[in-house]
Amino acid sequence: MYALVDCNNFYASCERVFQPQYNGKPVVVLSNNDGCIISRSDEAKALGVPMGAPEFKVREMLRQHNVKVFSSNYALYGDMSRRAMNILNRFTPYVEIYSIDEAFLNFEGMSISDYDNYGKQIKDTLLKGLSLPVCIGFAPTKALSKVANKIARKYPERTNGVYVIDTEEKRIKALRWTKIEDVWGIGYRMKKKMKAKNILTAYDFTEPFHESWIKKEMGVIGLRLRKELLGESVLGIEEPGNKKSIAITRSFPKQLTEFDALRERISTFASVCAEKLRAQDSCCHTVVVMLATMEHKTSATKQYYHNSVTLPFGTDSTLTINQAAIRILEKLYEEHKGERFQKAGVIVTQLINTNEKQLHLFEEENPKHHLLMKAIDKINTKIGDRKVKLGSQDSKTWNMKQNMLSPKYTTRWDQILVAKCH
């Protein structure tokens, strides 16, 4: 049996944990630079606040309905997620962290007679330990546990936030209820194809006469999904592994046209990429730099520019990756000089484990880089806030627009919650 545990309105719920005066009131959380709405409380959803809407377009609506708005506080959300996953590990050793607010649990080898009651124990433990509301769906497969979770979330009064698909009758009823666009792995384009084929529900997707069409359109992934929905488990719990690529992209608080300002951003992004590579003991062979013009307030077309360079050797050196990124930036900037850039990013790909790094006969990185990076990481870990950085980085332009940022209650001693007793 599998379970999918999903935290309800996770970012908004994290804010309410430390500011309970907003319980029962509409709350939204904005993306980086206070751009778009990325999390809504149930009360905000009931008011019709659209998900993904740019903040400036719904500002008047938020003000009229007295909606509490927060800037995104990823340090807080990340720490709350880590604590939630640690609690889930108490209930089974098989936990797959699917996203910051979702996890699959597997109960293979465990003797549990009442999954509904077990789910309520998990739910109550998370609520008592972290004040985070969750919904839990149990089913024989991962795809069906997603469906069960949606039912638990849709009907909280009848399910108390926990739903178990443990009979054939429940499975068929759940699949007939689930719209095809709500099935795990069915994206927007595939949804349009499905509807054109008259596949409107998850049950339609499992009909035998659609199998050859699913194989043609979705390949083995579609066939696996169909088996999962039929109750045959083919997707197990995945072990955590290293990332295949690392990307650091950010929107700017204001549009940038000067090369020096862009160079500072690219240097910072390249440095963070290199730091993440070293943290997972990987090296990269390819560095990609991306620039974007994004004219939200006009009808101008958005433009994305990118270029890449493949290095002759694998590297995790901040110096090497930064030099490669700046060379790419110089070329991109020259080609598109005069344009106003709203977003940029650095991506490192073709990753290999550091232990599998092959030496090059004619070109190799300065061996001093390894010792230097090791020393920098040690100092930054001890002091924090990436105190040791490249000379081309400037902390002044690093700050994002976060006008409604809440304190980092759980990760900063100087921002810890203070209780006043009278």
pLDDT tens for 285-295 read 999 999 998 66
The CATH number of 246-383 is which of 3.30.1300.10, 3.20.20.10, 1.20.1640.10, 3.30.1490.100?
3.30.1490.100
Query: By three-state DSSP, how is residue 95 classified?
Result: strand
pLDDT digits (tens, 9 = 90+) for 12-61: 999 999 999 999 999 999 988 888 999 999 999 999 999 999 999 999 99
CA distances 41 to 19, 24, 84, 193, Å, are: 14, 9, 19, 32
Please state, rounded to an integer, the average pLDDT across all residues of the chain: 90
Burial grade of 229 (CB within 10 A; 0-12, 13-18, 19 or more):
buried
Q: Does the pLDDT of residue 65 top 70, yes or no?
A: yes
Does the domain at residues 3-75 carry the CATH identifier 2.40.30.10? no
Q: What is the mean pLDDT of residues 365-385?
A: 87
For residues 163-173, average pLDDT:
96
What's the CA gap between 43 and 28, in Å, rounded? 10
What was the pLDDT predicted at 116?
95
Q: Tokens 């880089």 correspond to what residue?
A: 369
| Percent of the chain scoring above 90 in pLDDT | 72
Quick count: other Cβ atoms within 10 Å of Cβ 156?
A: 14
- CB 141, CB 231: distance < 8 Å: yes
Angle between helices 259-279 and 318-335 (to 10 degrees): 150
pLDDT in tens, 395-417: 654 566 788 999 989 888 888 88
Name the residue ranges covered by the structural domains of the chain: 3-75, 91-230, 246-383
- The pLDDT of residue 358 is 76
pLDDT of residue 399: 61
pLDDT given for residue 411 in this prediction: 85
Q: Do domains 3-75 and 246-383 have the same CATH topology?
A: no
Q: In Å, what is the CA distance from 313 to each residue of 213, 321, 362, 363?
A: 44, 11, 10, 7
C-alpha span between 182 and 31 (Å, rounded): 24
Question: Is residue 241 predicted with pLDDT exceeding 90?
Answer: no
Measured distance CA(269)–CA(250) in Å, rounded: 9
- Determine the pLDDT at residue 396: 53
The arithmetic mean of pLDDT across residues 139-164, rounded, is 96
Q: What is the pLDDT at residue 251?
A: 81
Please give the order of strands across the beta sheet that includes 37-40: 37-40, 27-30, 68-71
* 277/322 Cα distance (integer angstroms): 13
Predicted confidence (pLDDT) per residue in 96-148, tens digit: 999 999 999 999 989 999 999 999 999 999 999 999 999 999 999 999 999 99
Least confident of 237-251, 321-335, 368-382: 237-251
Model pTM above 0.85: no
Q: How far apart are CA 150 and CA 178, in angstroms?
A: 9
The per-residue pLDDT for range 261-288, each reduced to its tens digit, is: 999 999 999 999 999 999 989 999 999 9
Q: What is the pLDDT of residues 293-319, one digit of tens each?
A: 866 555 556 788 999 999 988 999 999
> What SS3 class is residue 113?
coil
The model's confidence at residue 359, banded by pLDDT at 50, 70 and 90, is: confident
Q: How much is the pLDDT for 393?
A: 78
Token pair in block for residue 295: 């004219």
Q: Residue 297: its pLDDT value, please?
A: 52
Confidence label for 390 from pLDDT (cuts 50, 70 and 90): confident
Give Cβ neighbours of residue 173 (< 8 Å, ≥ 6 apart): none
Which residues share a beta bridge with 134? 7
pLDDT band at 236 (very low <50, low <70, confident <90, very high): confident
Residues β-bridged to residue 315: 284
Please give the angle made by the CA atoms of 21, 23 and 29, to the nearest 5 degrees.
Answer: 95
Other CB atoms within 10 A of residue 227 CB: 16
- Helices within 30-167 (DSSP H only): 42-46, 55-64, 74-88, 115-130, 142-154, 156-159
